Amino acid sequence: MLDTTPNARIQAFLDKFEAALVAGDVDAAVAMFAPECYWRDLVAFTWNIKTMEGRDQIREMLNSCLAHAKPRSWKIADEESATEADGVTECWISFETEVARGYGLIRLQNGQIWTLLTTMVELKGYEEKAGFTRPLGARHGVNPGAKTWKELRDEETEQLGLKTQPYVLIIGGGQGGIALGARLRQLGVPTIIVEKNARPGDSWRNRYKSLCLHDPVWYDHLPYIDFPKNWPVFSPKDKIGDWLEMYTKVMELNYWTGTTAKHADWDDAKKEWTVVVERDGKEITLKPKQLVFATGMSAKPNIPQFKGMDTFKGEQHHSSRHPGPDRYKGKKVVVIGSNNSAHDICAALYEAGVDVTMVQRSTTHVVRSDSLMASIADLYSERAVRGGMTTAKADLIFASLPYKILHQLQKPVYDKIRQDDADFYAGLTRAGFRLDFGDDDSGLFMKYLRRGSGYYIDVGASQLIIDGKVKLVAGQVEEITPSGVKLDNGRELPADVIVYATGYSSMNGFVADLISREMADRVGKVWGLGSNTTKDPGPWEGEQRNMWKPTQQEGLWFHGGNLHQSRHYSQFLSLQLKARYEGIPTPVYGLQAVHHKA
């Protein structure tokens, strides 16, 4: 009797798909995709992070990649079952290529592929030493002269970067550099992380004292080690700092604190970098083959140059240098900006008894933290965990949604939030706060992906604005006067202190500083999708520009984002670097063109 269960139908579909690919029948394979279709590949086929949109792009990719990828063994992943809902059949799948094992998620509509996610899980022969293959640790028996684990670790620490060279140098020791460093450590790739701060985690500890993560703990785990089950839902900055410091030690990362990268040059003949760093006052020259900027989206302050700044008689600083509210009690503080940092700083200042005014220069998207948590609860929540959702699966489900249609899927979510929180938004509007939900009303995630800013996840500051406890003024800054801030409407705001909560520059700026402006322009803009929306000019890229994938400069990479992205994409960047370390061919398909200079 013919088996017509969803699993049987999916496996029969995968068998047919595999047969077409093995036979090199690209037309037959492409015909199995729906007229509107998307294939997002994370390294497995393209050695890139690339989304193919539509049959023509899929055909072009297969014509280029099929011969070297040699995909096979397509099947429903172990212990998984297909599901059907709203005309869509969905299933976790596994497959192999010539050099790797893969995992993915397929969605069928009307018997054809609507979306396909393919990801590289591990390189054959170069698997992580984990689980059943973890290191033994002990040396049982008699081993004359054998070194202990600590002695071997101390030897490595003393030699790497001084007597031996790292294959990968990561500049930046925040969550991005640490997550990537941990993955590379597990893969056996010699790696050094350099961080200018005195301790791991200081990039968090040194921020304003009221800072907490605005997204929940289930969204923020690092690779290999989850936060404890009693960890706060919203992590205070100092706890994050302590966690990162512990993590670097437990994961045995080669983490150089007190180290500043001074200059870097690429030698095209030797295919290596020369990077001069200063460590504890001493210059050291490193020769890595791969250079990763993990300096973070929030590391290079964007400090505006307003007329008259040099005349101001009080204190002025960027939000990244804000010490906290304690020393400003009894003073007048003007905070220029209206995104996350501005709100946090204003709320803390008010709570400390400070007369504080927020200057809103452009519209801001605001979403209540509870509403945001509810919108992602199926993936990242205690309920999701207890229902069997793993962090890895949640990451892949989110990754399986093509950026091209993500805004369409997000819009109904934020339409509902606007309806449910109508009184909240009405209160902000009455207070004079200028709201937006993105150019197409698709909300927070799309604003973050497109421009990296322009939003506030409300954890209490909005009510202070509604109640008039944090004063709000809308307008552009015309000049800074000796005694305050003058706006373009002629209004003057007296101030003893001015805080510039004006965001951060592109990560590419670090390339210009460390290497050259020419190199920065060769690589082009970092971050954004090319959506042709506010601060995200086209043309359409379909992926984050230059993030976690090859760039126009050989051996130069960018890694970072929030904790979720640092965790998730570190897997795919580490596999790209490991393959190059082992000499595995990595023919890159669809290398990003440069449309915008740094």
Residues 175 and 267 in one domain: yes
3-state secondary structure of 52: strand
Q: Give the pLDDT band (50/70/90) at residue 506.
A: confident
Residues 438 and 470 in one domain: yes
Task: Supply φ then ψ for residue 293, to 5 degrees.
Answer: -90, 110
Q: Give the pLDDT band (50/70/90) at residue 595.
A: confident
Domain count along the chain: 3
Indicate the DSSP class of residue 161: T
Residue 141, pLDDT score: 63
Residue 130, pLDDT score: 85
Q: Which one of 483, 500, 517 terminates a domain?
A: 500
Residue 140, pLDDT score: 66
Mean pLDDT of 555-577: 97
Residue at 593: amino acid letter? A
Strand pairing category for 355-360 and 471-474 = parallel
Q: Is residue 596's pLDDT more than 90?
A: no
Residues 257 and 317 in one domain: no
Residue 3, pLDDT score: 65
Domain that holds residue 212: 151-299+506-530+543-581
Q: Is residue 531's pLDDT more than 90?
A: yes
Cα–Cα distance for residue pair 547/386, rounded to 1 Å: 33
Q: Give the pLDDT band (50/70/90) at residue 299.
A: low
Question: Residue 537 domain-assigned?
Answer: no
Q: Which one of 104, 123, 142 terminates a domain?
A: 123
Residues 490 and 382 in one domain: yes
Average pLDDT, the chain: 94
Question: Residue 131 domain-assigned?
Answer: no
Q: Is residue 142's pLDDT more than 70?
A: no
**pLDDT for 165-174, tens place per residue?**
999 999 999 9
Q: Give the pLDDT band (50/70/90) at residue 2.
A: low
Cα–Cα distance for residue pair 45/119, rounded to 1 Å: 8
Residue 508, pLDDT score: 85
- How many CB atoms within 10 Å of residue 591? 14
Residues 515 and 473 in one domain: no
Rounded-to-10 torsion of CA 375, 52, 568, 391: 50
Question: Residue 596 domain-assigned?
Answer: no
3-state secondary structure of 263: strand
Residues 372 and 409 in one domain: yes
Question: Residue 27 domain-assigned?
Answer: yes
On whether the CB atoms of residues 121 and 100 are closer than 8 A, the answer is: yes
Question: Residue 589 domain-assigned?
Answer: no
Q: Which one of 77, 103, 123 terminates a domain?
A: 123
Cα–Cα distance for residue pair 319/337, rounded to 1 Å: 10
Residue 524, pLDDT score: 92
Residue 393, pLDDT score: 96
Q: Is residue 67's pLDDT more than 80?
A: yes
- Among all chains, which residue has been given the structure tokens 């290999």? 224
Residues 407 and 510 in one domain: no
CATH number, residue 449:
3.50.50.60
Task: Give the rounded distance of the alpha carbon of 565 from its chain centre.
Answer: 3
Mean pLDDT of 557-562: 94
Q: Is residue 86's pLDDT more than 80?
A: yes
Residue at 108: amino acid letter? L
Question: Residue 208 domain-assigned?
Answer: yes
Residues 90 and 227 in one domain: no
Question: Residue 201 domain-assigned?
Answer: yes
Residues 352 and 394 in one domain: yes
Residues 208 and 84 in one domain: no
H helices present in 23-109, as ranges? 26-30, 55-69
Question: Residue 141 domain-assigned?
Answer: no
Mean pLDDT of 41-57: 98
Cα–Cα distance for residue pair 580/290, rounded to 1 Å: 9
**pLDDT for 270-291, tens place per residue?**
999 999 999 999 999 999 999 9
User: Sign of dihedral through CA atoms 249, 507, 456, 332?
Assistant: positive
Cα–Cα distance for residue pair 588/372, rounded to 1 Å: 37
Residues 188 and 110 in one domain: no
CATH number, residue 113:
3.10.450.50
Residues 496 and 513 in one domain: no
